[in-house]
A and B are shown apart, each in its own frame.
Chain A
Amino acid sequence: MEKPKVATTSLAGCFGCHMSLLDIDDRILKLIELVDFDKSPIDDIKNFTGRCAVGIVEGGCCNEENVHVLQDFRKNCDILISCGDCAIDGGIPAMRNNIPLKECFDEAYHDGPTVYNPNNITPNDKELPLILNKVYPCHHVVKMDYHLPGCPPSADTLWEALVALLSNKPIELPYELIKYD
């Protein structure tokens, strides 16, 4: 039987959640036996090659490309997981949500104490995705099926969740894995 496919992506995240996924150490070999990785920074496949059972999404949506990718994930994956606090509630990037976009740009490109920008340019190449008015958690943009909290969720949490999903069993996360103080 063909192995189910898993896709992953990092939207407005720091890649910490992906690092945590790699942190499952040698269990990654077991994971490879269970699944094939499709579109993912892990194998650098850029486009979906077929329908995926699970999509793991790190980070929320801060720009139009994030939205585009997330909608693509929704279209191509049976189950979508919001992985980590950025995906779940915007996280650190969402700290800008109470500041007007213009002020964010000014601080980032012109007025910030460490800015060196002698020509006073605001980056505006048409290749650059446009920034959204605020950072949105994934489930505000598309329907998400599961939420794995943590910054990042620990390797064990990710492992337990993935194995449970792939073996069609209820996820049982022991208290130690979902306590954060």
Chain B
Amino acid sequence: MSQKLSRIIKNACESCGNDRNRLMDIVTAIQKECGAVTLEAMDIIAKELNVQRVDVESVVSFYSFLSKEEKGKVVIRICNDVVDILKGAEDVAKVFSETLGIEIGQTAADGSISLEYTPCIGLSDQAPAVLINDVAITNLTVDKAKSIANDLKNGVLPESLTKECGDGNNANDLVKSMVKNNIIKKGSVIFAERQSEAGLEKAITMSPSDVISLIKASKVRGRGGAGFPTGMKWEFTRAAKGDKKYVVCNADEGEPGTFKDRVLLTEKFDMLCEGMAIGGYCIGSDSGIIYLRGEYAYLKAFLEKKLSQRKEVGLLGANICGKDGFNFDIRIQIGAGAYICGEETALISSCEGLRGDPKTRPPFPAQKGYLASPTTVNNVETFCSIAKILEKDAAWYSAIGTKGSTGTKILSISGDCSNPGIYEYDFGVKVSDMLKDAGAEDTKAVLIGGPSGQLIGKTDFNRIICYDDLATGGSIVIFNSYRNILEIVKSYLEFFVEESCGYCTPCRTGNVLLLNKIEEILEGKGEPSDIKYLEDLCSTVKVTSRCGLGQTSPNPVLTSIKNFREVYDAVLKLNEDGRQPTFDIKASLEVAEALQGRKSVIY
């Protein structure tokens, strides 16, 4: 075994040039082949790469798709995002667990199958969904889950579970996935008919700084959530000192309820590559990296094929489009199940073969990013928009949308509505119009921008989607009047508790305290002063956390208090005698009573 393991590891390391920065690829390959990266494996990897074992272990222990203990040959990951739970994920989980005879979080004794929960896998529009190894299974019902579990028990391979492929490239031979695109509304920028590569061809007839000026004039802002002006980001990166620069595409798409990048990767990949090449041309970089979330591994072979096709026709590689000296190539970096890796500096850490820890800013990636070189990190949709902006022009683009938010925004709409899917709207669309299009009735709350955004109620439905009003990276989750707001808040806090990288105390501990308090309130043990406690704690976590995760994780609590105060007031009870309802003296004495063989005389 040991020799075989050595050989597997040597191969994995060699295929990455024994480069420690490629540690993610190395451990991912070993996990896939061996079902684990054991302590023994870590020792061998460390030796091969000339690093310490702790360097390897810190990576393996960080990512949820990597493990020290051996996982089953088949790993079933049930998405337990809020939307999936609303659509019955817990029942599906129960059926899997009962049929396979293993608890969630366990591996079968014969090592065949592991069963676990995982946060949003980017399929909220076809929930409940699961990943079986890399294979996505959507729209599950209790019956379907049962038959799949039986198939797996009988040795059916996960690849054979896909009976019917989805639309578009989901049916491509290298994808063969049942995932559907669900593109419901096509707008004028991303999903409009276009002349492919026209943007890139135009860009190379201009000087890089003229291209940047054009992008600045279009006033396009980043689509990943923060909304930073892209032209400005590229100008900074271009101006930064460094021989080597990088263009990184953020395809981590971890914000619960977002799935637009999945569809763009499947259907608009050439447009994305075109945008990245324009980025390379602008900032003076010959290297691009696409950080693909581990959950989208089912797209990897297809995307790699597309990359090599682009190379063959001179759209990647040396002297692109016949332009002498314009070289640009792209590699795909696969992630391994960590929401925090969507944060751009954590993403860079991950690309460098480290734990996905955010870095302290400044310096910003534009100055010092991947391998300490100037780097621009942009969202998938941002790059696609750039390709279109270059194809048309700045004035055409900036006429779309609102003054401060130009262009279109792709929204991933899911939850309680009859038409979940992808909608490309001009910026400025009203929430109520969006709800009508989505076929949402009896809507109580809408989560704009995922849990790190805001939960709004009816009085805000006349507000509009744009950076200056309701900003969103694309996630829109709809809840009808039957849903329990506090349960929703609790689920999202559980998500943040799980996904905090643990570096700063306010985020690591504060989110746990917020969750504890919400649980107490749900149990009917809350009192009015808890509101102030929650608000104070939220503000501490927001103000003192290092990265965007901690700075936004209290938002479900804060916005639900602001917009759904009545939900809290209905369950908070004034505590007359000053005794904490959460303290149970009888329960706390049980152990001692048993040990000492006598009952309390006081209580």
Residues of A within 8 A of B (CB): 64-65, 67-68, 71, 74-75, 100-102, 105, 122, 124, 126, 129-134, 136, 139-143
Q: Within 8 Å CB of B598, what residues of A?
A: 124, 126, 130
A102 touches B595 (CB 8 A): yes
- In the bound assembly, the distance between CA atoms of A131 and B592 in angstroms comes to 6
Q: B362: which A residues are within 8 A, CB to CB?
A: none
Say yes or no: A140 contacts B580, CB within 8 Å: yes
Contact A133 B589 (CB under 8 A): yes
B509 at the A interface (CB under 8 A):
no
Give the residues in chain B near A64, CB-CB below 8 Å: 585, 589, 600, 602-603
- 9 shortest interchain CB distances as A-B pairs: A74-B578, A130-B592, A143-B578, A132-B588, A131-B592, A133-B591, A101-B591, A133-B588, A141-B583
Is there contact, CB below 8 Å, between A132 and B592?
A: yes
Partner of A130, one of B575, B579, B587, B589: B589
Q: In the complex the two chains form, is A130's CB within 8 Å of B578's CB?
A: no
A67-B582 in contact (CB<8A): no
Residues of A within 8 A of B590 (CB): 133
Contact with A along B566-603 (1 / 0, CB 8 A): 00000000010111101101011111110111101111
Residues of A contacting B588 with CB < 8 Å?
132-134, 136
Contact A124 B575 (CB under 8 A): no
A132 and B577 within 8 A (CB): no
**Judging by beta carbons under 8 Å apart, are B582 and A140 in contact?**
yes
Tell me the bound Cα distance from A130 to B587 in angstroms.
12
* Minimum CB distance partner of A63 in chain B: B592
Query: What separation, in Å, do the CA atoms of A131 and B590 have in the docked complex?
Result: 10
Residue pair A143, B580 in contact (C-beta under 8 Å): yes
In the docked arrangement, what's the CA distance between A124 and B595, Å? 10
Chain A neighbourhood of B587, CB < 8 A? 133
CB proximity to A under 8 Å, residues B135-166: none
Which chain A residue lies CB-closest to B601? A126
CA gap between A13 and B593 in the complex, in Å = 23
Q: Are the CB atoms of A139 and B592 closer together than 8 Å? A: no
Whole-angstrom CA separation of A132 from B575 in the bound complex? 23
Among A64, A68, A130, which residue has the most Cβ atoms of chain B within 10 A? A130
Which residues of B sit under 8 angstroms from A142, Cβ to Cβ? 578-580, 583
Check A136–B583 contact: CB distance below 8 A.
yes
CB distance from B475 to the nearest CB of A (A): 37
A136 to chain B: which residues have CB within 8 Å? 583, 588
User: By the criterion CB–CB under 8 Å, are B580 and A141 in contact?
Assistant: yes
B577: contacting residue among A67, A74, A126, CB under 8 A: A74
Given A130-B589, A133-B590, A136-B588, are A124 and B596 neighbors across the interface (CB < 8 Å)?
Answer: yes
20 further interface pairs, Cβ-Cβ under 8 Å (given A64-B600, A100-B591, A141-B583)? A64-B585, A102-B591, A122-B596, A126-B598, A130-B593, A130-B600, A131-B592, A132-B592, A133-B587, A133-B588, A133-B589, A133-B590, A134-B588, A136-B583, A136-B588, A139-B580, A140-B580, A140-B583, A143-B575, A143-B579
B577 touching A133, Cβ below 8 Å? no
Complex contacts, A141 vs chain B, CB 8 Å: 579-580, 583
A-B contact pairs, 7 of them (CB 8 A): A64-B600, A65-B602, A74-B578, A130-B600, A133-B589, A140-B580, A143-B578
Q: How far is the CB of A7 from chain B (nearest CB, A)?
A: 15
Query: Is B595 a contact of A105 with CB atoms below 8 Å?
Result: yes
Chain B residues positioned under 8 Å from A102 (CB to CB): 591, 595
Q: A136-B583, A140-B583 are in contact. Are A101 and B577 (CB under 8 A)?
A: no
Interface string of B21-45 (1 = CB under 8 A from A): 0000000000000000000000000
Chain A's nearest CB lies how many Å from the CB of B168? 54
When distances are taken between beta carbons in the complex, the residues of chain B under 8 Å from A143 are: 529, 575, 578-580
| B601: A residues at CB distance < 8 A | 126
Q: Which residue of B lies closest to A141 (CB)?
A: B583
Contact partners of A132 in chain B: CB under 8 A: 588-589, 592
- Name the residue of chain B whose CB is nearest to the CB of A139: B580
Residue of A nearest to B527 (CB): A143
Q: Smallest distance from the beta carbon of A102 to chain B beta carbons, Å? A: 6
User: CA separation between A126 and B587, bound complex, in Å?
Assistant: 19
Question: B592 contacts which chain A residues (CB < 8 A)?
Answer: 101, 130-133
Say how far B596's CB is from chain A's closest CB, in angstroms. 5
Chain A residues with Cβ below 8 Å from B595 are 101-102, 105
The answer to whether A75 touches B582, judged by C-beta atoms less than 8 angstroms apart, is: no
Q: Looking across the interface, which residue of chain B has its beta carbon closest to that of A136?
A: B583
Specify the chain A residue showing the minimal Cβ separation from B597.
Answer: A124
Complex Cα–Cα for A179 and B155 (A): 63
Which residues of chain A are near B600, meaning CB under 8 Å? 64, 130
A133 CB to closest chain B CB (Å) equals 5
CA of A67 to CA of B597, assembled, Å: 20
Roughly how many angstroms separate A177 CA and B454 CA in the complex, as a whole number? 40
Q: How far is the CB of B575 from chain A (nearest CB, A)?
A: 7
